[in-house]
Amino acid sequence: STTAAAALAFIRPPASAELLGWAAGNPDARTRLEAAWAAAKLGMEAGVETLRGFCLQPIWSRRASDYLK
């Protein structure tokens, strides 16, 4: 779920690592977006790169760019 993925930002690695990996591979784009935000918030470059990719998709660009601020 998207809420669970976003909550991962408040669980420190390594406890969050496996769950972030699961969320990043989820078929739901909202869940992947929230997982990317959580990873970026935890200082993971992969999350930042994923958010940059979401910025290129018109439907997600506004939220993704907000998350990158």
* Residue located via tokens 């939220």: 63
Q: What is the pTM of this model?
A: 0.92
The predicted pLDDT at position 39 comes to 96
On whether the CB atoms of residues 67 and 51 are closer than 8 A, the answer is yes
Reply yes or no on whether the pLDDT at 64 is more than 90. Answer: yes
What is the signed CA dihedral for 55, 36, 69, 56, rounded to 10 degrees?
0
pLDDT of 3-54, one tens digit each?
999 999 999 888 999 999 999 999 999 999 999 999 999 999 999 999 999 9
The predicted pLDDT at position 2 comes to 85
66: three-class secondary structure by DSSP: helix
Q: How many CB atoms lie within 10 A of CB 17?
A: 15
The predicted pLDDT at position 54 comes to 98
Helix axes 17-24, 45-55, angle to 10 degrees: 20
